[in-house]
Chains A and B, each alone.
With several copies, the nearest count.
Chain A
Amino acid sequence: MEKAALGKNYRVHLSSFEGPLDLLLYLIKEAKIDIKDIFVSEVTKQYLKYMEDIGDLDMEKASEFLEIAATLLEIKSNSLLPKLEEIFPEQEDPAQKMIRQLEEYKLFKELSEKLRELETVDRYYRVADDSAFAPKVVLKDMRLDDLLDAFSRLLVKVERKKRDMEEPREIYKDPFTVDEKIEFIRSSLAERRTMSFFEFFDENATKDELIATFQALLELIKEQFLTVCQKAIFGDIILTIREGSAIG
Chain B
Amino acid sequence: MDNLENVLEAILFLAGDAVEVKEMAEKLGVSKEEILKAVEKLLQKYGGGSGIQILSFNGKLQFSSNAAYAPQIEVVLNPIKERELSRAMLEVAAIIAYKQPITRLEIEEIRGVNSEYVIMMLLRHNLIQVVGRKNTVGKPLLYATTDKFLKRFQLSSLEDLPDFDEVMERIKVLAPKEPPRDLFAREEQISEKEEIPDFLKGEENIEMIN
Query: Do A147 and B97 touch across chains, with their CB atoms under 8 A apart?
Result: yes
Determine the interface band of chain B, counting residues with CB < 8 A from chain A.
Answer: 35 or more
Instruction: Compute the total of residue contacts between A and B using a CB distance below 8 Å.
Output: 268
Query: Do A159 and B85 touch across chains, with their CB atoms under 8 A apart?
Result: no
Say whether, besides A136-B80, A137-B83, A127 and B110 are in contact (CB < 8 Å): no
Say whether, besides A108-B98, A120-B67, A139-B125, A129 and B14 are in contact (CB < 8 Å): yes
Shortest distance from the beta carbon of A133 to any chain B beta carbon, whole Å: 6
Q: Please indicate which of the listed interface residues B114, B175, B176, B177 has the most CB atoms of chain A within 10 Å of its own CB.
A: B114
Residues in A neighbouring B170, C-beta threshold 8 A: 107, 148-149, 152
Interface of A is mostly: helix
Query: Do B178 and A156 touch across chains, with their CB atoms under 8 A apart?
Result: yes
A8 within 8 A of B: no
Q: Please indicate which of the listed interface residues B63, B64, B68 has the most CB atoms of chain A within 10 Å of its own CB.
A: B64
Query: Do B91 and A154 touch across chains, with their CB atoms under 8 A apart?
Result: yes
Query: Do A151 and B98 touch across chains, with their CB atoms under 8 A apart?
Result: yes
Q: What does the 1/0 interface line of A33-60 toward B look like (CB < 8 Å)?
A: 0000000000000000000000000001
Q: What does the 1/0 interface line of A73-107 toward B look like (CB < 8 Å)?
A: 00000000000000000111000110011011101
> CA–CA, A233 to B167, complex, Å?
39
Query: Do A18 and B79 touch across chains, with their CB atoms under 8 A apart?
Result: no
Shortest distance from the beta carbon of B52 to any chain A beta carbon, whole Å: 9
Say whether, besides A109-B91, A137-B83, A139-B125, A124 and B180 are in contact (CB < 8 Å): no
Q: Please indicate which of the listed interface residues A96, A118, A191 has the most CB atoms of chain B within 10 Å of its own CB.
A: A118
Query: Do B162 and A100 touch across chains, with their CB atoms under 8 A apart?
Result: no
Shortest distance from the beta carbon of A90 to any chain B beta carbon, whole Å: 6
Say whether, besides A152-B170, A154-B94, A199 and B152 are in contact (CB < 8 Å): no
7 extra A-B contacts, CB within 8 A, seeds A152-B174, A196-B88, A203-B112: A101-B110, A114-B162, A119-B84, A119-B152, A128-B16, A143-B153, A192-B86
Write the residues of chain B forming the contact surface with A, with a CB cutoff of 8 angstroms. Answer: 10, 13-17, 53, 62-68, 70, 73-74, 77-88, 90-91, 93-95, 97-98, 109-118, 125, 127, 151-155, 161-163, 166-167, 170-171, 174-181, 183-184
